[in-house]
Amino acid sequence: MAEKEKKQKLDSEGNPIISEPPTGLKVIIREFTHDRTAMISFSIMVFIILAAVLGSFFINPERYTTINIMTQWAKPGTDGLILGGDDSGRDVFAELIVGMRNSIGIGWAVAALIEIIGIVVGLTSGYFGGIVDNILMRITDFFMILPALMIQIVVITIVPKFSIWVLILMITALGWMSTARLYRSQVLSQVNRDYILASKTSGTSNFKIMFFELLPNISSLLLVDITLTFATSVGVETGLTFLGYGLPDNTPSIGRLISFAQDPVTITSYPWSWLPATLLLLILSLSVNYTGRALRRAADARQRLG
């Protein structure tokens, strides 16, 4: 509505601009107001992230670290435990909130690192072309053939001082390839345009052209790709933790909660230990991916709804 009024005002003022091409944030807002599912997905995503990040400040670490035999497999709602207790009597709800925060933190860290690598590799490769492009793309190809999950597990088991940072670097090292290719293809579509050629002719340094002239023109990709990469990274991290090779055992995590679902007794008798975490991961993956798709539509003028 607000959009329409604004446009009418412009016209009544006798502004010579008949229609202003929508840019940046405006396009995104318009896309989301035209797609109710995208709006709901975005709200759910923001809600989960805020609940996890803010909620974990209010949770006493004792609730998810102290082992208490009295509340072992406690039913939801008893002993003041909203979602019951786990195998050692820890508060499942507290673990869920703090675990979500850990997964979200790792997901964003990985996504940010992947974007940095992707931008540097993609820009260098696409801008310089020729032999530089060839070498970088062969390296990318090589990383693509590596069995990522297996190598992550092996490195995690043989690294003597395992920490969250090793996990983040590991997921980044085997997950940057498609992002780099995406940026490269975008750069290739820009690199022969007049503004780049003009800049080159007037003697601007390559570095300045790449990061201050080319990058802003493909920047709409960043928001899209970082969202989708975030979703993938959360999936990879929870998957690794689920298998037992992600976050350490004493760290609350979604993957660890889900991994309670590995024997028949726990699955059928104590569903509160694993089901909430599984459903939360499901909902988060769906909402983040849907938001990413709506952003991608907004970034591509041919696909826009509004």
Partner 1 sequence: MWKTILRRVLLMIPQIIILSLFVFILAKMMPGDPFTGLINPQTSASQIAQIRQEAGLNDPWPVQYFRWVGNALHGNFGLSYQFHKPVIDLISERAVNTLYLAVFSVILTYLISIPLGIWAGRYQGSLIDNSIQFYNFVSISVPSFVWYLLAIALFGFVWHIFPTSGSVSVQASGFIGVTLSRLYHIILPGVLIALMSTAGNIQYLRSGIIDNQLEDYVRTARSKGVPERVVFNKHILRNSLLPIAAFFGNVITGLLGGSVFAETIFSYPGMGKLFIDSVQARDYSVMTALIVMYGFLTLLGNLLSDIIMSIVDPRIRID
Write out the residues near partner 1 by the rule CB under 8 A.
Answer: 138, 141-142, 144-147, 149-151, 153-155, 157-158, 231, 235-236, 238-239, 242-245, 258, 261, 264, 267-268, 271, 274, 278, 281-282, 285-286, 288-290, 293
Question: Whole-number minimum distance, CB 3 to partner 1, in Å?
Answer: 25
Nearer to partner 1, 189 or 269 (CB): 269
Structure tokens at 240: 């690794």
Question: Whole-number minimum distance, CB 245 to partner 1, in Å?
Answer: 7
Nearer to partner 1, 112 or 261 (CB): 261
Question: Whole-number minimum distance, CB 256 to partner 1, in Å?
Answer: 13
Question: Whole-number minimum distance, CB 134 to partner 1, in Å?
Answer: 12
Grouping H, G, I as helix, E, B as strand and the rest as coil, residue 85 is strand
Question: Whole-number minimum distance, CB 184 to partner 1, in Å?
Answer: 19
Question: Whole-number minimum distance, CB 262 to partner 1, in Å?
Answer: 8
Question: Whole-number minimum distance, CB 135 to partner 1, in Å?
Answer: 12
Structure tokens at 57: 């400040």
CA 239/CA 246 separation, integer angstroms: 8
Nearer to partner 1, 71 or 103 (CB): 103
DSSP codes, 210-235: IIIIIHHHTTHHHHHHHHHHHHHHHH
Backbone CA torsion sign across 102, 52, 79, 273:
negative
8 Å CB contact between 67 and 256? no
Nearer to partner 1, 85 or 255 (CB): 255
273 CB contacts (<8 Å, ≥6 apart)? 73, 84, 86, 87, 92, 257, 260, 266
Residue type, 48: I
CB-based burial, 205-222: b 16+ in 10 Å, e otherwise: eeeebbeebbbeebebbb
DSSP codes, 140-157: HHHHHHS-HHHHHHHHHH
Nearer to partner 1, 10 or 155 (CB): 155
CA 148/CA 40 separation, integer angstroms: 33
Question: Whole-number minimum distance, CB 261 to partner 1, in Å?
Answer: 5
Nearer to partner 1, 209 or 294 (CB): 294
Q: Around Cβ 4, how many Cβ atoms within 10 Å?
A: 8
8 Å CB contact between 162 and 240? no
Nearer to partner 1, 68 or 285 (CB): 285
Nearer to partner 1, 54 or 146 (CB): 146
